[in-house]
Chain A
């Protein structure tokens, strides 16, 4: 935890949203993800360029990048890092609706441990950007109580793992109050924070809470992976009347991408087509998207044509997009960072088997993290998460 925060804090004096190209804020990548390959991914699938076609509409509610053909890229839009995209989305929503407030540890004067809320306290004041003491249970409960009256708090967990302390509030009050009150109260909170395996942060700071929260009835879960969908999902989550848990990833905060200047939101329940293909459907989310795309490079060289879908919506699953893909390719590989037991992949495997069994030519394969606490040593940590080489092997195995 300390390594990342100090690194981020000492990095720059970014006061504007435009990123500074000269200073590469990406930490040296142990898992072989240089910025260059990310650019390739983004441009290769033409996701950002394809989407800029929709700039004709003021508000873009549908941001699935399905159409690969690009009309002339207009060239407008601005480049920024993922945490800036989140900040932009948050700031736009706070400007738009005075009911939106942010609460969390060090979100105000400190600017947020990952700089997502930087500058907001100066702009909106202490009553709308609240520095809480270290008591996740209490401030999550307070956010939910405030939401019952109509406020729209965005509750930040400094690390998703800390939200385990607030599990009671999230499960019992956040998820269930709308139901147990017979519809009288809505809880429009957004609970967000970084999770996932970082760089040797240790077991307790490398948790993936998607698996624990996925059974709670009444909440929605989304995971962002690019600056484009980070901003879109943040805005959609704030506007949603349901409680939404937005999973960010510690290692993705410094991704750079060009996003449109116009206002847009992403659909909370929709999956994103990253790379259309014919041979196999690879379902993934969050950081594993980049591992998959790297593996896709290798696979393409070997002659395979994988279809990569970033499922984005972890609860509920976008079975429409996934189903259409399965009907096309007949093979499914799920690549996730969640634990093997009871993770998102496990639920997704069950859902696909139940609904699309007739369309499958091979069993659904799920690559997940090992069921171990994340070790500190770098090499061991690498082995707990799925690596591109394993993805390539799995695809070859499935496509025999």
Chain B
């Protein structure tokens, strides 16, 4: 209320600085709020966490800003793919932002996250820069993996983000290995291993879960259930779609994955649980607006009506927007301005990434081995391309 009065009185003066004024106001405002999650949690072999979530107005604003940034990044990636600047596979995360954001708000950078190929937004949530992401997507040298990984291989070691994996389900044993290392080194940290409803049918998942439960590893398996494994709906691929119960002897929790606050609450709960009792499964009920990847229109196995219905009723950004407005943290106009700023930021990053250099041909042979020993490597034509592995 106060803010809207302020902005309306000093409209001409503050107009261009609306964003800065907003920011200045918000940075000093840490009003604690308690908000109820939209849906209750369903639990398996454990107690549900409370539906009331403690948050602050600045946190809600940061949710909004970061989710808007992620949404914009994915949409920009969409247009870049159609402009053939991004090639190969491009799996977009829009619609699922609440999972990444909610998770980040509940943990520290010492906790590890490992996910599958739908990793652009998780990378951003872990502190990755837009320019690193876009450069990597376009295969430039300044990308987070020097242009050699691509869309499915984003990593950020200093923020304990372990990627970025192309093979469905293969990251789950890796994630349990990360949890093992955390236990081995007695770090009071946990690992969040994300996978999809399609990957939930992989055998290695149950193998890894068995070991994690046996050895009491601080591993949290998060199933991002967007109800479609590429083109196959959940009911056609899983006999038991209650993914949070599939752990059998491992406790599970089902969360509304479109509600960032519910995700935050669940992750906080899961972290405490994992540090004390071992693994736990979180099922995030979420939805992706795009198809499985850019090569998939996303409408052959589901109706456009369904997609737009979810967008209207359950969109995570709209949900936070409504919360912000109803709690008078900011006005609709300010939020719109924030979105415009975000758009400008993303466009600037795209433009900068487009100018970035492509990798040197010698980069083909770097980072194959850690230490070189003069082994030779060459291409199909020996004279053209021949190098000693550095």
Contacts and interface: CB of A to CB of B under 8 A. Distances in A.
Interface of A: 101, 127, 130, 132-133, 135, 137-151, 168-169, 172-173, 177-186, 217-218, 220, 240-242, 269, 316, 319, 354
Given A149-B182, A178-B370, 8 more contacts: A101-B184, A137-B207, A151-B181, A173-B174, A182-B143, A182-B144, A182-B147, A184-B145
Contacts of B210: 133, 135, 138
A207 to B, nearest CB: 21
12 contacts: A127-B183, A135-B207, A139-B207, A139-B211, A141-B176, A142-B174, A148-B177, A149-B185, A151-B185, A180-B148, A181-B163, A184-B156
Nearest to B163: A181
A135 B203 CA distance: 9
Counting chain B residues whose Cβ lies within 8 A of the other chain, the interface size class is 35 or more
A281 to B, nearest CB: 20
Contacts of B373: 269, 316
Contacts of A140: 173
Nearest to B370: A241
A149 B189 CA distance: 13
Interface in B155-192: 155-157, 162-167, 170, 172-178, 180-185
Nearest to A151: B181
Contacts of B370: 178, 186, 240-242
B363 to A, nearest CB: 9
Contacts of B143: 182
Interface string B37-77: 00000000000000000000000000000000000000000
A73 B263 CA distance: 70
Contact of B375 (A144, A148, A182, A316): A316
Interface in B128-160: 143-150, 153, 155-157
B9 interface: no
A293 to B, nearest CB: 28
B208 A172 contact: no
Contacts of A142: 173-174, 176-177, 180, 208, 211
B184 A182 contact: no
A173 B162 contact: no
Nearest to B203: A137
A172 B170 contact: yes
A17 B215 CA distance: 31
Given A139-B211, A172-B166, A145 B145 contact: no
B184 A141 contact: no
A280 B112 CA distance: 56
B145 A185 contact: no
Contacts of A186: 370
B89 to A, nearest CB: 13
Interface in B340-388: 366-371, 373, 375-376, 382
Contacts of A133: 207, 210-211, 214
B7 interface: no
